[in-house]
Amino acid sequence: MRERIIGTECEYAPVYHGRTSTDAHQQKEADFLGTHENLAVALMKGVRSRIYPMVGEFLGNGGRLYVDRGGLPEYATPECRNIWDVVAYEMAGDRIVQELAEATWTEGASRKLHIYKNNVDYYQSTYGNHENYLITPQGMGRIERLIPFLVTRQIYAGAGKVMPSSDLKDITLQITQRADFFNSTYSDRTSEIRGIINTRKRELPRQGKNQRLHIIVGDSNMSQYAIALKTGITSLMIRLLEEDALGDGLVLEAPVKALKSISRRYDAPVDVSLLGKAASYSALEIQSIYLEKAQRFYATHGADPDESRLLALWADILEGLRQVKLSASGLEIEDDPADMKRKIDWVLKLWLVGRQRSKGARLRLLRAMDMKYHDLDPSTGLYEHCRSLGLVDQLIDEEAILLARHRPPQNTRARIRGLVIEQTHDKKKLDVQIENWEAIEIRTRPEKQQAIHFFNQMKHRIHALKIRMEDPLKADDPGMLKELERFVGAWG
Amino acid sequence: MAPSGQIQKSKTKAPKKKEQDEKEPEVLSKEKKQKLKELDEYIEGVLEEAGEDFLDQFKQVEGQ
């Protein structure tokens, strides 16, 4: 991929399930873990015991793990330069959080902490999965042209959501979890008023050349293919935007309405204006228009191997989705010759739910299945179980995911952050502050002040090393790394 | 987009069904049936273990 940094952020849902215990000690513990704040505290306590070096909120793999508003644990991948890394580091986050949840369990306990990677609870509170892309100011200036793409990409990036039908007797299946929570085309907020385009300015001071595009209109995906398609194709489209190759001929008449309509029926026609003329297209047709544009652009501008692979994958997925036939109710898959359920979350969820529904399972059970699809626990999660049965396709090796839990990407500034964390996390004489994604300050810890005689204060002065990492694409800084080694050797 | 404004279908061919599927339909079908049975039993077990209160316990604070 060309000179682009990509990363994702995921808010997980921790749920403490189980029966009331007759054991007083266990019940006391269960009561403590009954609040979200305490759950998050218990979860984070496990980080060091699971041998994940951490400084502040940053992990040794260069990513960030913290407790967000309302006690939701959130993991942000380190800065990645290719889609396969994005998939590996997002999956690594899933594994880390799941391991931490398992560490909270005590032998014989009647309740267990489960982590769900979804975007909506039973009471319709939502939590997000956000994407970040490095983008030029020129690309950002044309961002409105990306709207039809963002609205329609849900046909391969949606995670599926089971909802009650209007008479509450049956279910409906939406293809996204998040569509219902968007009420504006543009918004600078990430809660209450959510916009398809998030306009909050977050400058990336890379020689003043880049900005951060923050996309919040996406689902948390279990499928590796869905993560790769969502972030990879968006990245392809951003390049078209930056090079003014996207055009402004295709405009959705009502983007928010279209987002919701497509989520309810993936082949729903939506009103567009195409080259100034009113028309009606399905999401699949709109995506095909963009695919063709991208194919033409990359044929003349040279696609690197990653871009070529993504273009081919995009074409295959659209062709596969074109062949999917749903029943009139939309609750059964009548035909799926290209086996899209192996790659696309909503198709797999629909297949699982449809099978149980045809056997007589009703609303509450089917909604519980929806939630269980996203359980990261391999012994109770439906997606995880499909994976173990070989019913879904994987894009990257298990080894790459396990490695990504510890080792940062080697081609972005995350490498430098990871090295600092690796070298300093266990040094008791050093106080390391990772202020944000760009700055780290390491200070020697002061001795107890009262023990230092006035005449010895010079010997005990605080030494500090400031590390600036303004360019996210810069993975090496030999001078700085030498200085780090010297500083840690002298004072650590 | 197509100059005419018409949608042009992707020229990529649909993925072929796996060769194995054609060669060993009976074996695969047996294996597939077994997997589906296992999956159904698993789903039943998971939902039973989750219990009646499962959905009611699934309550989060609004995030971003």
* Residue A399 within any structural domain of the chain: no
Least confident of A124-133, A319-328, B49-58: B49-58
Q: Which of A292, A340, A344, A373 to mutate to test the interface with B (most CBs of B within 10 A)?
A: A292
Tell me if chain A has a CB within 8 Å of the CB of B35. yes
Q: Could B14 and A312 be called an inter-chain contact, meaning their C-beta atoms sit closer than 8 Å? A: no
* Residue A396 within any structural domain of the chain: no
Neighbours of A410 (CB within 10 A): 12
pTM: 0.90
Q: Could B5 and A279 be called an inter-chain contact, meaning their C-beta atoms sit closer than 8 Å? A: yes
Q: Could B61 and A70 be called an inter-chain contact, meaning their C-beta atoms sit closer than 8 Å? A: yes
Query: Do both A106 and A161 map to the same domain?
Result: no
Least confident of A86-100, A120-134, A454-468: A454-468
Long-range pairs of A292-299 with CB within 8 A, sequence gap ≥ 24:
A292/B1, A292/B2, A292/B8, A292/B10, A293/A240, A293/A245, A293/A246, A293/A247, A293/B1, A294/A236, A294/A237, A294/A240, A297/A239, A297/A240, A297/A243, A297/A245, A298/A236
Helical segments of A50-144, H only: 83-103, 137-141
Between residues 176 and 215 of chain A, which touch chain B (CB distance below 8 Å)? 190-191
Query: Do both A35 and A140 map to the same domain?
Result: no
Which domain range does residue A445 map to? Answer: 414-491
Residues A341-368, buried b or exposed e (16+ Cβ, 10 A)?
A: bbbbbbbbbbbbbbbbbeeebebebbbb
Distance from CA of A189 to the nearest CA of B (A): 9
Query: Do both A9 and A127 map to the same domain?
Result: no
Query: Do both A196 and A108 map to the same domain?
Result: no
> Considering only alpha carbons, which residue of chain A is nearest residue B63?
A127
Distance CA A186, CA A215 (A): 11
- Residue A162 — φ and ψ, nearest 5°? -90, 130
Element (H, E) at A148: helix A147-152
**Among residues A163, A157, A181, A189, which one has the least CA distance to residue A83?**
A157
Q: Could B2 and A292 be called an inter-chain contact, meaning their C-beta atoms sit closer than 8 Å? A: yes
**Among residues A409, A403, A472, which one has the least CA distance to residue A62?**
A409
Q: Could A367 and B13 be called an inter-chain contact, meaning their C-beta atoms sit closer than 8 Å? A: no
**Position with higher pLDDT, A138 vs A458:** A138
Distance from CA of B24 to the nearest CA of A (A): 17
* Residue A390 within any structural domain of the chain: no
Tell me if chain A has a CB within 8 Å of the CB of B42. yes
Q: Could B64 and A127 be called an inter-chain contact, meaning their C-beta atoms sit closer than 8 Å? A: yes
Query: Do both A132 and A191 map to the same domain?
Result: yes
Looking at beta carbons, which residues of chain A come within 8 Å of B51? Answer: 17, 19
pLDDT band, very low/low/confident/very high, at A39 (cuts 50, 70, 90): confident
* Residue A393 within any structural domain of the chain: no
Distances (CA, A) of A424 to A67, A475, A491: 23, 19, 10
- Residue A207's pLDDT is what? 57
User: Scanning the structure block, which residue is given the tokens 């090796």?
Assistant: A397
Q: How many domains does chain A have?
A: 3
Q: Which residues of A are catalytic?
A: 68
Query: Do both A5 and A137 map to the same domain?
Result: no
Query: Do both A77 and A125 map to the same domain?
Result: no
Query: Do both A364 and A484 map to the same domain?
Result: no
Between residues 10 and 29 of chain A, which touch chain B (CB distance below 8 Å)? 11, 13, 15-17, 19
Element (H, E) at B54: helix B54-57
Q: Which of B1, B40, B42, B49 to mutate to test the interface with A (most CBs of A within 10 A)?
A: B1
Query: Do both A125 and A71 map to the same domain?
Result: no
Looking at beta carbons, which residues of chain B come within 8 Å of A67? Answer: none
Query: Do both A346 and A201 map to the same domain?
Result: yes
> Considering only alpha carbons, which residue of chain B is nearest residue A195?
B64
Q: Could B63 and A249 be called an inter-chain contact, meaning their C-beta atoms sit closer than 8 Å? A: no
Contact residues for A345 (Cβ-Cβ < 8 A; gap 6+): A158, A159, A160, A219, A221, A222, A223, A226, A373, A383
Is pLDDT of A384 > 70? yes
Distances (CA, A) of A25 to A28, A30, A100, A180, A196: 5, 9, 21, 42, 48
Instruction: Identify whether the C-beta of residue A33 lies closer than 8 Å to the C-beta of residue A39.
Output: yes
Element (H, E) at A355: helix A345-358
Kindly report, residue by residue over A245-278, the tens digit of the pLDDT: 998 889 999 999 999 999 999 899 999 988 888 9
Provide the β-strand partners of residue B49.
Answer: none
Of A94, A117, A140, the residue that ends a domain is A117
* Residue A388 within any structural domain of the chain: no
Alpha-carbon torsion (A358, A361, A363, A368), positive or negative: negative
* Residue A380 within any structural domain of the chain: no
User: Token pair for residue A116?
Assistant: 């769900």
* Residue A402 within any structural domain of the chain: no
Tell me if chain B has a CB within 8 Å of the CB of A393. no
Tell me if chain A has a CB within 8 Å of the CB of B23. no
Of A74, A90, A117, the residue that ends a domain is A117
Tell me if chain B has a CB within 8 Å of the CB of A368. yes
Across the range A367-374, mean pLDDT stands at 97
Instruction: Identify whether the C-beta of residue A395 lies closer than 8 Å to the C-beta of residue A18.
Output: no
Q: Could B12 and A312 be called an inter-chain contact, meaning their C-beta atoms sit closer than 8 Å? A: yes
Of A340, A373, A406, the residue that ends a domain is A373
**Among residues A13, A307, A378, A306, which one has the least CA distance to residue A159?**
A13
The rounded mean pLDDT for chain B is: 70
User: Token pair for residue A435?
Assistant: 């202020």
Distance from CA of A83 to the nearest CA of B (A): 22
The enclosing domain of A102 has a CATH number of 3.30.310
Tell me if chain A has a CB within 8 Å of the CB of B38. yes
Distance CA A347, CA A160 (A): 8
- For residue A491, the one-letter residue type is W
Kindly report, residue by residue over A102-128, the tens digit of the pLDDT: 988 877 777 788 999 999 999 999 999
Looking at beta carbons, which residues of chain B come within 8 Å of A277? Answer: 5
Specify burial of residue A460 (Cβ count, 10 A radius: 0-12, 13-18, 19+).
middle
| DSSP state for residue A223 in the 8-state scheme | -
Looking at beta carbons, which residues of chain B come within 8 Å of A72? Answer: 60-61, 63
Provide the β-strand partners of residue A111.
Answer: A18
Of B14, B46, B56, the CB nearest to A122: B56
Query: Do both A77 and A209 map to the same domain?
Result: no
Is pLDDT of A34 > 70? no
Query: Do both A106 and A127 map to the same domain?
Result: no
Between residues 398 and 457 of chain A, which touch chain B (CB distance below 8 Å)? none
User: Scanning the structure block, which residue is given the tokens 């992990």?
Assistant: A59
Kindly report, residue by residue over A404-413, the tens digit of the pLDDT: 999 999 999 9
- Residue B5's pLDDT is what? 34
- Residue A203 — φ and ψ, nearest 5°? -75, 140
- Residue B13's pLDDT is what? 46
DSSP 3-state assignment of A134? strand
